[in-house]
Amino acid sequence: MDTTLRDGEQTPGVALKTEEKVWIARKLDELGVDIIEAGSAITSEGEREAIRAVAAEGLDAEICSYCRIMQQDVDFALECDVDSIHLVAPVSDLHISVKLKKDREALKEMALSAVEYAKDHGLIVELSGEDASRADLDFLKDLYKSGVEVGADRVCFCDTVGLLVPERTTEIFKDLSSSIDVPVAVHCHNDFGLAVSNTVAALNAGAREAHMTINGIGERAGNAALEEVAMILEWLYKRETSIKTNELYKVSRLVSRLTGLAVAPNKSLVGGNAFTHEAGIHVHGLLADTSTYEPITPESIGRERQIVLGKHAGKSSVTLALKEQGLNVDDSQLNEIVSRVKELGDHGKRVTDADLQTIAETVLDIYRESKVKLEDLTVVSGNRATPTASVRLIVDGKEIVEAATGDGPVDAAFEGIRKAVSGVADIHLEEYHVDAITGGTDALVEVLVKLSKDGKMVTSRGARTDIIMASVEAVINGINQLIQD
């Protein structure tokens, strides 16, 4: 399948540091993305610094900068040493008259002049029609053909406000792909939740490039999600892409962490609940054949199956959860473990992986020595002090002392612990949740964390009157769960 998968688009409220953008670009390149739109060079010197840094990485992917149809935008892109530009021309009469305050002919002249200027300076040019789904199609095709005549290497149809439906998308891209002599790209927004459907429809109708983003982030409701499009093409249409799909989840988590944009638990494929099971009838089916309730294997996207236990847990779900932990039990032991799990569930508690391990080891009379123990924790914080934590841990019998700063005392404590155990495991905090169990300033608080290591993920709990100690307890319990042999 000759399809270019492209990642880009700006997201409101997200300001990444240069090193973070470079880190994401490396991961996208490793993932198999063909073109990386690294930013818009006209934006600021900080943006140009980041684009230059990405371009200097020597990645296999083509590095692109977003440009308006203005010479100064192209000049700034040239300063960043990019391979290509995404040259965006407003093409609907609404955008031409309201944004540019010009007519069609003036717009066409500006666009073609910008294409020629960029080509004269050695850039690959993708001429893009903004708000194309509300443009006159004959005018759009004329602009594209004229752009190709003066050197445009690709053209792109942008559904800027997400108004397309798959049926109309198919019609448009059959027409464009048969009448335009260069690759045609699709750029979809998700205002009506159809970005992925329209992207797939366009690719099936002849588009040879798709603009997408990790986790579907982007303006307003976002853009087409790369992970969804790639998996739909690979699994449902049996069409090969360049994407290493078993790395998708790791890249999704990285982008979520660095942007601060959480992935909804019920999001397809990469959401926290996508491969999580609780109801007994589902888990009973999974024990017989995982394909009964999983359309793809979690490993195919770089994930692991998760079993959530609570008052609805049955023998099947507990058995599968124990199996995931490498524990085998007989019928009487299983009955006792199920009883204890339901008891916790009846009290409104979610049974974490660490809880289940503790229950099972108690029932099985197993004592597993913790590899990580907290010996001492000191935290300093205040309105004029940078939150700082120093920790003393016993890790595999060796005393380790570390210190770290953070956005708050809990963050500083976690960073100190993470540094202390970095020699045995690279731990990432995926989720952090706090509940006050009782009222008052001396309330007992319960902290629930989700930690990951090398794609494996566990949940763990801590409960204290001190929120910092409850957090540390939860984190250390989770780390011990992750690094057990």
Q: List the domains of the chain with CATH numbers.
A: 7-259 (3.20.20.70), 276-364 (no CATH), 372-483 (3.30.160.270)
- Determine the pLDDT at residue 1: 38
Mean pLDDT of 408-429: 92
H-type alpha helices, 18-136:
18-31, 45-55, 71-79, 93-95, 104-120
Q: Is the dihedral of CA 376, 380, 381, 386 positive or negative?
A: negative
Mean pLDDT of 438-457: 78
- Higher pLDDT: 268 or 284? It is 268
Examine the pLDDT at 352 and tell me if it is beyond 80: no
**Spatial contact of 287 and 319, defined as CB atoms under 8 Å apart:** yes
* Cα distances (angstroms) measured from residue 433 to each of 448, 450, 462, 473: 5, 9, 11, 13
* Cα distances (angstroms) measured from residue 115 to each of 228, 252, 353, 403: 33, 34, 57, 54
**Spatial contact of 249 and 267, defined as CB atoms under 8 Å apart:** no
Q: Which of 249, 322, 312, 324 is nearest to 279 (CA)?
A: 312
Q: Can you give the C-alpha Rg of the chain in angstroms?
A: 26
* Cα distances (angstroms) measured from residue 17 to each of 53, 257, 403: 11, 13, 24
Length reported for the chain: 485
Residue pointed to by tokens 């692109």: 64
- Determine the pLDDT at residue 281: 65
Q: What is the pLDDT of residues 122-160, one digit of tens each?
A: 999 999 999 999 999 999 999 999 999 999 999 999 999
Q: What is the pLDDT of residues 281-305, one digit of tens each?
A: 676 677 667 788 889 999 999 998 8
- Determine the pLDDT at residue 425: 87
**Spatial contact of 148 and 156, defined as CB atoms under 8 Å apart:** no
Burial code (b: 16+ CB inside 10 Å, e: under 16) for 202-224 equals: bbbbbbbbbbbbbbbbbeeebbb
Compute the distance between CA of residue 467 and CA of residue 483 in angstroms, rounded to an integer. Answer: 24
All residues at 6 or more sequence positions from 231 whose CB lies less than 8 Å from its CB, including other chains: 245, 248, 269, 296, 300, 301
Strand-pairing partners, residue 67, are 87
**pTM listed for this prediction:** 0.77
Q: What is the pLDDT of residues 62-110, one digit of tens each?
A: 999 999 999 999 999 999 999 999 999 999 999 999 999 999 999 999 9
Token pair for residue 135?
């443009």
Token pair for residue 95?
């955008």
